[in-house]
Amino acid sequence: MNTFTLDFADKHAIISLNRPKANAVNMEMIEELRETFAKLHDSETVEGVILTGTGPIFCAGLDVVELFGYDVDTIARFWLEYGRLWRDMVAFPKPLICAVNGASPAGGCVFALCCDYRVMTRGKHSIGLNEIPVGVVVPPPLVEVARATVGNVNVGKMFYNGLLMKADEALEIGLIDEVCEQDEILKKAEAQLLTWTNMPREPWQTMKKTIRGPIIEMLSTIDFDESFGPTLKAWWSDDNRKQVGKLVAKLTGSAG
């Protein structure tokens, strides 16, 4: 895999995002993650999965520099596959723990929301949904994924304000389930994973399917044009291209 490493420990797998410079999401990462989750879904030896990142950043969100250069067909396929990845993760029948080891804005936060439990390290890094300030029209399915975790009031606060929070603030609204020190994060994630994998498998998986059922159904029956059409239309608008273009120039050092 080019965008992450896959390791196995005891009866679980650890996916560590590993894509320079900031583990940002591109088409290749989505395709590799979908392929890997499908294999782990069917594995008879893997009982749970931990998703984390390498370096000081968990995931910096979408790779806007790469996405800015996608043509019409490629960006449409990107959003289609991205939505399918949310479904794959939300519907993954085994315990899926997110070890948020660093900054996780936008797409990084989305990955966390698709997991069953989120542990995050203390520090100056933040997590949140800042798509709107970046210039992304948020597709409705993503709003529902977030709403299922943080509730209606908090999902509005997060999206309307492009809210980025430190770990303790995220803990208060239920975006994060546990906060720990940097050197404890994998141990904490593994402890939670072990708690769940030690339970009877069928009752646990049935309960996950019941709890996640409405979101799984919604993500499985997406009307692409209705759900992602406004996002794609805005992406190609002149105003949006100028705004995202400024961000791309800043990130690539070509501003001015």
Share of the chain above pLDDT 90, in %: 89
DSSP summary character for residue 147: H
Q: What are the two backbone dihedrals, phi and then psi, of residue 18, each rounded to the nearest 5 degrees?
A: -150, 70
User: Would you state the pLDDT for residue 254?
Assistant: 65
Break the chain into its structural domains and give their ranges: 4-252
> Residue 22, by phi and psi: left (phi above 0), alpha (psi -120 to 50) or beta?
alpha
Chain mean pLDDT for the chain: 95
CATH class of the domain defined by 4-252: alpha beta
**115-171 pLDDT per residue, tens:** 999 999 999 999 999 988 877 899 999 999 999 999 999 999 999 999 999 999 999
64 torsion bin: left (phi>0), alpha (psi -120 to 50), beta (else): alpha
Phi, psi of 133 (to 5 degrees): -60, -30
The pLDDT tens digits for 22-48 are: 999 999 999 999 999 999 999 999 999
The mean pLDDT value for 212-240 works out to: 94
d(CA 256, CA 249): 8
Secondary structure percentages of the chain, helix, strand, coil, to 5 = 55, 15, 30
| Entry pTM | 0.95
> Cis peptide leading into 250, omega within 30 of 0?
no
Q: Would you state the pLDDT for residue 1?
A: 87
Residue 256: predicted pLDDT: 44
What are 97-117's pLDDT values in tens digits?
Answer: 999 999 999 999 999 999 999
Q: Comparing 21 with 190, which gets the higher pLDDT?
A: 190
